[in-house]
Amino acid sequence: MTVRHHLSDRLLAAYATGELAEGWSLAVATHLALCPECRSRLRRFEAAAGEMLDELQGDRADMEDSWAQVRERLTNTDVLPRPVISRPTERLDGAVLPAPLRSYLGGDAHELRWKPLGRGAHHVLIPTLDDETTARLLRIPAGKPVPEHSHGGRELTLVLSGSFSDRTGRFGRGDIEEADEMLEHQPVAGVEEDCICLAVTDAPLRFKSRFLRLIQPVLGI
């Protein structure tokens, strides 16, 4: 397994300083479980954050202002050394869902109660205490497309099994796509197997199909 699509510096910096809502944090933690390169980058962010906060606290700066300055400086990657890239790990235990997700759901993908979304797709809502985001697992049949849509806010999509492709590229196990209001796409699952992914959003999708928009409240997506 080779991860090609990684977390942005801004997302990692927010995770390192504890600023992400629970749903976003779950997506980041699950990607980190699959991506040695991003784990290495996170260690650098955390180390840099600790050093910067010590400097700022030494000046007795207000704590909230201190964290704001730390986040601003962390997103300037010129101040950080280049990452040490570790060899990606394989799915040694045979599990589809990495440990962070299994701890939320109480089991692996085949043990869950999947609910139909139509066109052969299924989903599982992931319970969180977060009122900012919605997190769910999606299972898209091999070779089938997701309805064309754009986004009302941000969406993180992390592939856990199989693959999908859209206008931005191909995403396999461990790859994460960060989408916003600017991206309109129609992901298509790879033909090799069903695509299982973790999707976290902070706003409903904007489907191009009028019919899907009408039934969207029923689907809850």
C-beta separation of 138 from 197 below 8 A: yes
Residues (pLDDT < 50) of the chain are 60-61, 63, 66-67, 70-71, 73-75, 77-90, 92
Supply the pTM of this predicted model. Answer: 0.79
76, 86, 106, 202 from 81: Cα distances, Å:
11, 15, 38, 33
Cα pseudo-dihedral 208, 209, 214, 215, rounded to 10: -100
- Per-residue pLDDT, 204: 82
Cβ-proximal residues to 111 (8 Å cutoff; 6+ apart), any chain: none
Which residue's entry shows tokens 């050394």?
81
- Domain count along the chain: 2
Domain ranges, residue 32: 9-79
Predicted pLDDT at 158 = 98
Tens of pLDDT along 176-187? 999 988 888 899
Half-sphere exposure of 72 (CA within 13 A, CB side): 7
pLDDT given for residue 16 in this prediction = 85
d(CA 92, CA 165): 25
CATH code of 160's domain:
2.60.120.10
Assess whether 26 and 129 both reside in one domain.
no
- What tokens appear for 135 in the block? 């997190």
Q: Tell me how many degrees the CA angle 21-25-31 measures, rounded to the nearest 5.
A: 155
Q: Find all residues with CB under 8 Å of 87, minimum gap 6, and list them.
A: 36
Asked if the structure places residue 92 within a domain, the reply is: no
88 lies in some domain:
no
Q: What is the C-alpha separation between 56 and 53, in angstroms, rounded? A: 5
Partners of 210 in beta bridges:
none
Give the pLDDT confidence score for residue 80 in this predicted structure.
Answer: 38
pLDDT of residue 74: 45
Which pLDDT belongs to residue 44?
A: 85
- Pair of tokens at residue 5: 């699509």
- Residue matched to tokens 């064309």: 148
pLDDT of residue 77: 43
Nearest to 186 by CA among 149, 137, 144, 140: 149
pLDDT recorded at residue 72: 53
- Look at residues 79, 107, 132 and tell me which one is the last residue of a structural domain: 79
Is 103 contained in some domain?
A: yes
First vs last C-alpha separation in the chain = 30
Same domain, 134 and 37: no
90 occurs within a structural domain: no
Residues, the chain:
221
- Bridge partners (DSSP) of residue 158 are 176, 198
Tell me the C-alpha distance between 4 and 132, whole Å: 28
Beta strands 195-201 and 134-140 are: antiparallel
Rg of the chain over Cα atoms, rounded to whole angstroms, equals 18
Q: Does residue 162 share a domain with residue 130?
A: yes
What pLDDT score was predicted for residue 90? 46
Rounded percentage of the chain residues whose pLDDT exceeds 70: 75
109 & 212 share domain:
yes
Residue 2 falls inside a structural domain: no
